């Protein structure tokens, strides 16, 4: 599906993959696909729903990042330099402040962008699906096989009812993403119920007013059938280096990098 200029629902459409069962993964020590390629010269072109990625950068597994097992084989962990660095920084910060868990990433983009089955966007290296940090029945960090859905009360749904939404780590992640001075976040799709939960946690942890305001603005439950109660969908604005070939659409928050498109 392609969004029209008037369809916010489609514009916002993120991952349509809604696998709901989370299993412990036996190992997350394997290397990612492809060879290491560090490049500051990546470029995003077009819109996230019709664009491409040039000289994409691979997000590697590390001490604080793992691939969500279900998505590992497809290898769609490529993004712009700015997106990949943002995820590295955010996962690192969470692991430093609240040690013991890795960020479980879902799909980003293909190496050269373009369509990925199950996604309306993710075509230009500026989108990333992120599993929530979650805890098992004994309060220990849990590394899921697949995304797990959570209710507003923090309890896992269905077969994942033994899992808990990890308020502290998920808030830390959001706080770092929205406050980053390099990559600028346009959206983090998540259900309204979990958004309320995250903001409550932020206030409880005495987050600054500006971080809370940004989180309030970018945490959005998309209209349509996918409420995003089993993962975050992150989108960054076009990095200045990728413009004007890279295209953004409103909303343009005050932290939009550079001059806003007309």
- By the criterion CB under 5 A, which residues form the site for Zn ion? 14-15, 129, 233
Query: At closest approach, how far in Å is the CB of 183 from Zn ion?
Result: 16
Query: At closest approach, how far in Å is the CB of 232 from Zn ion?
Result: 9
- 78-79 vs 57-58, strand pairing mode: antiparallel
* Residue 84 DSSP SS3: helix
Nearer to Zn ion, 15 or 186 (CB): 15
Nearer to Zn ion, 164 or 228 (CB): 228
Query: At closest approach, how far in Å is the CB of 202 from Zn ion?
Result: 23
CA dist 98 → 170, 203, 235 (Å): 10, 17, 24
Nearer to Zn ion, 48 or 156 (CB): 48
Nearer to Zn ion, 58 or 190 (CB): 190
Query: At closest approach, how far in Å is the CB of 139 from Zn ion?
Result: 29
Let me know: does 226 contact 236? Beta carbons within 8 Å.
Answer: no
Instruction: Give which of 69, 77, 78 is closest to 25, Cα–Cα.
Output: 69
């Amino acid at each position: 599906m392609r969004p029209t200029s008037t369809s916010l629902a489609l514009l916002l459409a993120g991952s349509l993959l809604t696998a709901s069962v989370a299993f412990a993964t036996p190992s997350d020590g394997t290397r990612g696909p492809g060879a290491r390629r560090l490049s500051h010269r990546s470029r995003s072109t077009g819109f996230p729903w019709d664009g491409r990625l040039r000289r994409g950068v691979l997000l590697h597994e590390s001490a604080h990042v793992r691939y969500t097992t279900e998505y590992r084989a497809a290898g769609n962990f490529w993004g712009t330099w700015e997106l990949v660095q943002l995820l590295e920084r955010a996962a690192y910060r969470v692991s430093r402040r609240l040690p013991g868990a890795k960020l479980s990433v879902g799909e980003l983009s293909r190496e050269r962008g373009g369509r990925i089955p199950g996604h309306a966007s993710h075509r230009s290296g500026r989108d990333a699906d992120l599993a929530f940090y979650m805890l098992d029945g004994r309060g220990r960090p849990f590394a899921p096989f697949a995304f797990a859905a959570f209710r507003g009360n923090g309890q896992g749904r269905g077969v994942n009812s033994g899992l808990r939404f990890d308020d502290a780590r998920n808030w830390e992640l959001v706080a770092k993403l929205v406050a980053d001075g390099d990559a600028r976040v346009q959206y983090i799709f998540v259900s309204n119920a979990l958004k309320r939960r995250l903001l409550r946690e932020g206030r409880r942890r005495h987050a600054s007013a500006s971080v809370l305001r940004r989180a309030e603005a970018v945490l959005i439950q998309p209209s349509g059938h996918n409420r995003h109660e089993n993962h975050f969908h992150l989108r960054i604005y076009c990095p200045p280096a990728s413009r004007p070939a890279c295209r953004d659409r409103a909303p343009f928050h005050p932290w939009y990098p550079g001059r806003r498109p007309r």
